[in-house]
């Protein structure tokens, strides 16, 4: 949202050139554009795979069906609509119809050319595989602890105190769009039934965290006040794992969009979602977040490139219920790695943040990935206020420090 202005990221963020196809007027063929590389992060195009967004709003179709049933119905609908290009069910990798309408699919050159000339198509984006850079995301500390019996006595991390957290979040729900969550972590209240993976292969039906990043995020949002581990901002709130990144921190734009769509379909007023991930600007991803924010509030990591957050998605998505978050240290000094700019709404603790880890453990890491969940937790508790301003903001407009 930028406060006063209405208009995808693992602090892990990955950026490279992005092939973007946008709709033209007067029935012209859709134009193909390329964005310039933004950093040294690894990001590979998925050969022959594209995110196709339709002009028609499908949010009202099959609206009485449950999520899983509706996805099947929408997929059949799209197959029928584009039967002339011989699109098959196996080629459609993700189906959308809540925030954005369309699909991600493997397309040959003839099918792509046909869709570029199809007046029903709004935009087409090359799908990419995004891969986290572990040297950036895990900056400090090592995993520790292996279960409830080995976790230390409960501590209140400095970031939780700085934002006025550690309050009861019982009865609230946070959606963690990330690497999954340790489903059996003794310091988390995980909603396993609604947790879901949008990965393929062996991880297709497994929302459990094989990386640790998502569990760390979830702990900052909502670790239980139970004498062990840490306490979260909104302690004891339910956390739902929306797994879009695998154990290596790899995923796809199409999968991340599907994860946002899942939150859009199942989230309720009062819920909050956290996205500590991202990449180059994607209109499809930004649109999905904006539409989903009609019911669910979103906390977005600004990114770790020391760059303008407007150059990245979903950090550049703006709306009434969307909050992009930069990072600071315990001295209220802007973190050297944090992105900045007009998209940023709040600054929050993001340096040497203690939280939970996969395997029932704990870890201390840094990044805007750690800052965003502080705000996500605050969103569960009510309106986010501020307590002072960060110093050293590169854009010269000091971000307000998030507080209960």
Q: Which residues are catalytic?
A: 178, 213, 369
Of 296, 180, 300, 321, nearest to 240 by C-alpha is: 180
Distance CA 335, CA 34 (A): 31
Please report the DSSP string for 5-74 in residue order: ------TT------EEEE--STTPPPEEEEPPP-SS--EEEEEEEEEEEESS--TTTTTTS-HHHHHHHH
What's the distance, CA 382 to chain centroid? 21
Distance CA 217, CA 210 (A): 14
Could you tell me if 391 and 398 are in contact, meaning their C-beta atoms sit under 8 angstroms apart?
A: yes
- Is 129 strand, coil or helix? strand
386 Cβ contact partners less than 8 Å away, ≥ 6 residues apart? 346, 400, 401, 402, 403
Please report the DSSP string for 240-280 in residue order: EEEE-B-TTSEEEHHHHHHHHHHHHHH--TT-EEEE---EE
Could you tell me if 131 and 14 are in contact, meaning their C-beta atoms sit under 8 angstroms apart?
A: yes
Distance CA 105, CA 54 (A): 13
Distance CA 316, CA 208 (A): 29
Distance CA 235, CA 164 (A): 12
Please report the DSSP string for 358-397 in residue order: GGGEEEEE-SHHHHHHHHHHHHHHSS-EEEEE-B--TTSS
Cα four-point dihedral sign 302, 304, 310, 315: negative
Q: How far is CA 28 from CA 32, 118, 218, in A?
A: 12, 9, 46
What's the distance, CA 8 to chain centroid? 7
What's the distance, CA 343 to chain centroid? 16
């Amino acid at each position: 949202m930028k406060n006063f202005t209405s208009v995808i990221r693992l602090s892990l963020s990955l950026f490279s050139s992005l092939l973007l196809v946008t709709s033209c007027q007067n029935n012209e063929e859709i134009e193909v554009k390329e964005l310039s590389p933004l950093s040294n992060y690894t990001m590979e195009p998925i050969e022959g795979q594209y995110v196709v967004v339709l002009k028609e709003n499908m949010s009202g179709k099959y609206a009485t069906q449950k999520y899983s049933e509706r996805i099947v119905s929408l997929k059949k609908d799209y197959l029928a609509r584009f039967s002339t290009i011989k699109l098959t069910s196996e080629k459609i990798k993700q189906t959308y119809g809540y925030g954005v309408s369309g699909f991600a699919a493997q397309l040959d050159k003839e099918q792509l050319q046909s869709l570029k000339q199809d007046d029903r198509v709004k935009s087409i984006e090359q799908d990419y595989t995004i891969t986290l850079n572990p040297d950036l995301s895990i900056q400090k500390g090592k995993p520790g602890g292996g279960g409830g019996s080995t976790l230390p006595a409960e501590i209140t991390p400095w970031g939780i105190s700085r934002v006025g957290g550690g309050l009861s979040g019982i009865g609230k729900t946070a959606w963690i769009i990330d690497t999954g969550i340790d489903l059996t972590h003794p310091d988390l209240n995980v909603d396993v039934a609604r947790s879901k993976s949008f990965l393929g292969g062996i991880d297709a039906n497994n929302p459990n965290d094989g990386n640790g990043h998502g569990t760390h995020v979830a702990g900052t949002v909502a670790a239980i006040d139970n004498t062990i581990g840490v306490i979260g901002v909104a302690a004891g709130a339910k956390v739902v794992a929306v797994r879009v990144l695998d154990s290596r921190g790899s995923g796809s734009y199409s999968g991340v969009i599907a994860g946002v769509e899942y939150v859009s379909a199942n989230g309720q007023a009062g819920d909050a979602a956290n996205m500590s991930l991202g990449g180059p600007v994607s209109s499809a991803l930004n649109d999905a977040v904006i539409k989903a924010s009609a019911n669910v509030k979103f906390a977005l990591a600004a990114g770790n490139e020391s760059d303008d957050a407007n150059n990245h998605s979903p950090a550049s998505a703006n709306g009434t219920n969307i909050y992009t978050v930069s990072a600071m240290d315990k001295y209220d000094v802007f973190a050297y790695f944090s992105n900045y700019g007009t998209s940023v709404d709040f600054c929050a603790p993001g340096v040497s943040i203690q939280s939970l880890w996969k395997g029932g453990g704990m870890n201390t890491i840094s990044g805007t990935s750690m800052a965003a969940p502080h705000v996500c937790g605050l969103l569960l508790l009510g309106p986010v206020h501020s307590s002072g301003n960060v110093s050293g903001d590169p854009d010269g407009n000091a971000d307000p420090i998030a507080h209960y």
